[in-house]
Chains A and B, each alone.
Chain A
Amino acid sequence: MTAELHEELTDPHAGEQLDHGAASSRPLKSRISEPQPRGAKIRGNRPVDQSEAANRFMAATEHEAMHDARLWDLRQKRDKEMHGIEEWEELRNLASGIKEHTLSKLDYYLELFEKNATANGIKVHWAKDGAEHNAIVLEILRSKGVELLIKSKSMLTEECGFREFMAKNNVEVIETDLGERIQQLDDEAPSHVVVPAVHKLRTDVASVFAKTIGSDPDNADAHYLTECQREATRPLILSAQAGMTGGNFVVAETGTFVVCTNEGNADLSANTPPLHIASIGIEKLIPGLNELPVFIRLLSRSALGSPITQYTSHFRGPREGGEMHVVLVDNGRSERLGMEKFWPGLKCIRCGACMNTCPVFRRSGGLSYGATYAGPIGLIIDPTFNVHKYRNLPYSSTMNGSCTNVCPVKINIHEQIADWRKTLAGEGEISPVKKVMMKAAGEVLASPVVYRASLPLGRSALRHLPHFMLYNKLNTWGRKRDIPETPKQTFNEWYRRNRKSQSEGEKS
């Protein structure tokens, strides 16, 4: 790519720190180039070892530091936005109540949406799983002779293995979101629902773009790289025969679906080619237009700490001469609705706030989870897709509850993580190491005498054990954090010395 393409780069304002939208509120810059750690090793249906992949991510200190700082900055931006809105907690309660109401009458609202959308000229399809979704989309594309499809980001199509399927069927799929495009060109899944390439350093992106779109391998400037992608993707956008989007919210009473992006990819994918296909999970329904602003106000503030996404796009019917299809996808959702403890996961609006706040996620990277959904929300959703493969994930949590506190739709994430641990143990889905540890812990905890006797031992051991014995591979709690200083006494000892003698003194 030649420098002439990038006149914007000579803009005197280009170097200033812009801090709205998805941006970081302070300058972050990786200092060194370091090979990118890759995600979890996937071996068929064998349980994913998140902690093994997390170890490799943490060993790449530059990646880990950038990832942690970037996501924590997003969390802090979210807090600032939250404090700017007096009715924040009321909005969260409303959002949760609206989602629960809609889920309790989901059949009614789906049929209402279908009726209204059809009346406006949208063709509505139903897919029970990912394979059927892919087949429906392929059939629509084949009927129009489509060979090139442009796409805006959608977690649902990741769930369906859509790109891989289309590649096998000779349809070229071009992701238009910058982060998603980086991941597509690197043949890697997105690591975060909102910022798909957040685990990559600028030098990683420079090397991916140098290999795939011909950028200068020695130029890792974010402005330059973004401009290269714009220039490389634009001709493809203009020549595509079909466009695809997801849907963040579906308004049943008006037959509208809403897509939120910062780059404008949904508008671009939907409006440039003559054919628009939207893939939408059946849990995205809300009743009407009175409810919609509750979610629009919460989504980007929770996700990125910005008041709204740069583009909020509403589709209610095809444009003149155009064609619009909506594929409503179940893929396990109707079954999840019947899971007494786990149905609230269906309230999720995919803002990623739980990921940004999670200490495990920030230090281990989204690809370490080896599943479509990473972070706290992934821990409670992934096992519903495959309980054996994702049986270790509910243990990748410190149970600090921060995810629950930031969730805009008030999903009890940390409680569900605990419930999954119980459920998995009940189903025998527990690793051999944990089984041994649980058994030992069970024996100690079952007997008050043995438990009390064990405490001073553990305490003095913690105080006197050499560093290497505490911070080793077996003790995952010592990884990347210091264990708090151990108290000199147990509570029981303290109580006996102070209160008990006091109360005894009072008696006498």
Chain B
Amino acid sequence: MSGSRDAILGAIRKNHIQGERPRPAVPLFDQAAPADLKALFQKSLERMGGKILIPDATDPMAPVRQAFVKPGPVVSCVPEFEGDMKITPQTKPTDIAPVEYAVLRAAFGVAETGSLCFTEKQLHVNTTGFLPQHLIVLLDPAQIVYNLHNAYQRPEWLQAHYAVFQSGPSATADIEGVLVHGAQGVRSLSVLFQP
């Protein structure tokens, strides 16, 4: 309602706080970044409840297959691995609901928080990020940034319409502080370092 828009902006202009308040410059706080970002990422991810899969030198996708411990459809959004369900332009967001495992590649990772960034480009259908029961994520170790300041310098924020940092599985502790994985989103999240 344009009447309200003008009324709100008018009231703000009338009531503006007094005095100059310049925009602060925000440093990147990355002087202390360690050389081994992969190790820091792993430590942070495990703290957030995520798991790291042990790599296999001869068969890179073996750890992914071994991670399927429960029966059910697997959807893959990566060329390295073929799932049982194909995502096509006709796939609806709710079609992902029966999926047990989704295999995704993260756009990048954040060592400070163990976060994985997904955008619509990696997810194909946005719901592949949270409607499946479990996520298996490929992450290129070269795509790990040190902290969140570095993360927000990445190009994805100006390209994607939807972007999410997922840091471990869905979690809740709303009942007496008891932590339960899989509140509404994924019950587990495993990462395989894979260039």
Contacts and interface: CB of A to CB of B under 8 A. Distances in A.
B47 A223 contact: no
A267 B93 CA distance: 12
Interface string A217-236: 00000110111001001100
Output the residue of A308, A328, A337 with the most chain B CB within 10 A.
A308
A202 B13 CA distance: 49
B175 A313 contact: no
A74 B44 CA distance: 19
Given A28-B177, A272-B94, A262 B130 contact: no
A86 B162 CA distance: 32
A20 interface: yes
B57 interface: no
Interface in A4-38: 8, 17-24, 28-30
Contacts of A89: none
B168 interface: yes
A202 B175 contact: yes
Interface in A246-289: 254, 256, 262-265, 267-268, 270-273, 282, 287, 289
A: contact size bracket? 35 or more
B4 A127 contact: yes
Nearest to A129: B4
Contacts of A238: 94, 97
Contacts of B127: 268, 271-272
A21 B164 contact: no
A317 B20 CA distance: 33
Contacts of B171: 20-23, 262-263, 310
Given A136-B1, A334-B15, A335-B11, A312 B177 contact: no
Interface in B66-89: none
B21 A104 contact: yes
A200 B176 CA distance: 8
Given A8-B182, A106-B12, A307-B112, A23 B177 contact: yes
Given A19-B179, A97-B24, A319-B162, A293 B148 contact: yes
Nearest to B164: A313
A316 B162 CA distance: 6
Contacts of A222: 175-176, 178, 180
Interface in B146-165: 147-149, 151-153, 157-158, 160-165
A164 to B, nearest CB: 22
Contacts of A110: 8-9, 12
Contact of A195 (B20, B115, B174, B187): B174
A355 interface: no
A399 to B, nearest CB: 25
B8 A18 contact: no
A197 B174 contact: yes
Given A291-B26, A308-B115, A318-B161, A18 B21 contact: no
A43 B194 CA distance: 62
B174 A297 contact: no
A313 B20 CA distance: 32
Contacts of B2: 126
B129 A289 contact: no
Interface in A23-68: 23-24, 28-30, 66
Nearest to B157: A289
A359 B181 CA distance: 31
A264 B178 contact: no
B170 A18 contact: no
A334 B1 CA distance: 17
Nearest to B151: A293
Given A272-B131, A338-B15, A202 B179 contact: no
A237 B130 CA distance: 12
B178 A23 contact: yes
Given A222-B180, A226-B180, A267-B129, A128 B168 contact: no
Contacts of A120: 161
Contact of B184 (A128, A230, A314): A230
A354 interface: no
A136 B4 CA distance: 12
A343 B181 CA distance: 39
B164 A312 contact: yes
Nearest to B172: A178
Contacts of B35: none
A234 B160 CA distance: 27
B48 A20 contact: yes
A293 B21 contact: no
B172 to A, nearest CB: 5
Interface string B122-154: 000011011100000000000000011101110
12 contacts: A18-B49, A23-B177, A126-B5, A128-B7, A178-B174, A237-B184, A264-B186, A290-B152, A310-B170, A330-B4, A337-B16, A338-B14
Given A225-B175, A262-B172, A267-B185, 12 more contacts: A24-B173, A73-B177, A86-B32, A93-B24, A101-B21, A103-B21, A262-B170, A263-B172, A264-B186, A310-B49, A314-B160, A337-B11
Interface of B: 1-2, 4-5, 7-9, 11-17, 19-24, 26, 29, 32, 44, 47-49, 93-94, 97, 112-115, 120, 126-127, 129-131, 147-149, 151-153, 157-158, 160-187
The 7 closest A-B pairs by CB, nearest first: A338-B15, A264-B185, A24-B177, A23-B179, A179-B174, A263-B183, A222-B178
